[in-house]
Amino acid sequence: MALIIPEVQLCTIIDALLKHIKLDFEAKVVTPEKSLLYNYFNGIVDHKKDYYKEAVDLFTREADHPRLIETRLAFDAERAKIPTIHITMPSDQTGQNSLGIGESGMADYVNYIDGEVSVEYERRFDTQYQIVCTSDQHSEVMLMYHLVRAGLISILDTFSLTGLEDPKLSGQELKINPDLMPSHIFMRAIGVSFSYEIKVSRWWNEDIINDLCLDQNQIYDNEQ
């Protein structure tokens, strides 16, 4: 069984959400009032800024657009000024584990060709990731933050199918270290906490017992 790598799964989920938003709007171009973007942002206006129009521009950009939203598996400072979603891991703590080292006690892997058996160990982790939205335009950061969070809420009932169990969401505005990035970059983070389990087979195997030979004389002596 392949390892669960949460940041890869989160990145895949976010890419799928962004793709779905774009395809949904394109499919309803004749009736945009039925689109998810319209449902989420229509009527949200701040002075002369219409967030629905800005959301349509931001989330329906083509692949050759210089400010196309992209996702990263780690914080990419070089892209921070362009609309980007970075996946970072603040913490990974031990979760609710069984006593011992998580060994099932049974042969989880049997190779009859080579005559080997191996057991499987498992550990559970409680972890938190941050989905960091960055741009040099505050409105783009705000729109990415709220859209991605809404998208995650919409799939929470199926989140555990990826192996990321009991998800919880939070959020915060991030302060920028001026020594690392220019001060005009805006950043918001969606916190995603969950539990997941890692199962691995032992890296060395044991030989299968094919024959069991008893010393009959020894048995006879013991009976005496």
Residues of the chain where predicted confidence (pLDDT) is lower than 70: 1, 97-118, 178, 180, 182, 202-224
Locate all alpha helices (DSSP H) within the chain, ordered by sequence: 6-27, 36-41, 51-59, 138-154, 216-223
Task: Give the model's pLDDT for residue 110.
Answer: 58
Task: Give the model's pLDDT for residue 124.
Answer: 86
Task: Give the model's pLDDT for residue 208.
Answer: 46
Task: Give the model's pLDDT for residue 223.
Answer: 47
Over residues 165-191, the pLDDT tens digits come to 999 999 998 887 767 676 789 999 999
Q: How far apart are CA 193 and CA 93, in angstroms?
A: 11
Q: How far apart are CA 205 and CA 134, in angstroms?
A: 48
